[in-house]
Copies of this chain bind each other. A is one copy, B any other.
Amino acid sequence: MIKPEAFSPEERLAVYRAINERRDIRHFVPFELEEGVLRRILEAAHAAPSVGFMQPWDFIVLRDEALRGEIRDHVLAEKEKAGKHYTGERAELYRRLKIEGILECSAVVAVTCDPERGGSVNLGRVTMPQAAQFSVCTAIQNFWLAARAEGLGVGWVSVVDPAWIKARLGVPRSIELVALLCVGAAREFPPNPLLQTMGWRRREPLEKVVHAGCWGTPYPWGASVGREKP
């Protein structure tokens, strides 16, 4: 008996495909992002879970070229400042990293969090105050996966001074900047993350990050596991 809530094998594979083929994109090609597509992606973000159903997110869509140019200059300056932490080969690799596609993408979307939305006492935030910001991040991942399903790439630019961005966009003091996203047509969706390919860091095996019962006890994966396919 197939339950109504079950996904078909094809549907299941499509979800895994979006998850596995999503990349952090910094190389975009010219593309006019249709309003209908943008709206679907934003609706997907807005369908995310949120603590106490507070929906603490806002999305500021930036298309203006002059504004984007200013933001790009800011990011490049911040990149140079942050780069002083690196030395030797690492510094050279850092210098070569392209960390944004602000001018080439179709739209930049600033994503914010209002931690007080729905009142200062919010269900679930008494014990975990960061839960509002966490909810915004689940919305960002929905945005990212929906964009991938639309054939579009998204890049998260985190080398920014949130205070500068907030001031430039007129974001009130009580609202926090969570992310600056570039969305558009990706030049390509490489099989692996760029930072992996460039040798910045390797991918950890799943075994290393899954514990059983308590911290530090490796999960006892059965011998048959791993050969199964979705």
Q: Which residues of A contact B (CB under 8 A)?
A: 3, 5-7, 10-12, 14-22, 24, 35-36, 39-40, 42-44, 46-49, 51-55, 57-64, 67, 78, 81-82, 85-86, 94, 97, 99, 112, 118, 121, 123-128, 130-131, 133-134, 137-138, 140-142, 144-146, 148-151, 156, 158-162, 169-172, 175, 178-179, 186, 188-189, 193, 195-196, 200-201, 203-204, 206, 209-216, 219, 221-222, 224-226, 228, 230
Contacts and interface: CB of A to CB of B under 8 A. Distances in A.
Contact of A201 (B7, B118, B138, B140): B118
Contact of A213 (B40, B62, B78): B62
A6 B156 contact: no
Given A58-B209, A94-B123, A144 B201 contact: no
Contacts of A85: 121, 126
A125 B159 CA distance: 8
Contact of A7 (B40, B64, B149, B196): B149
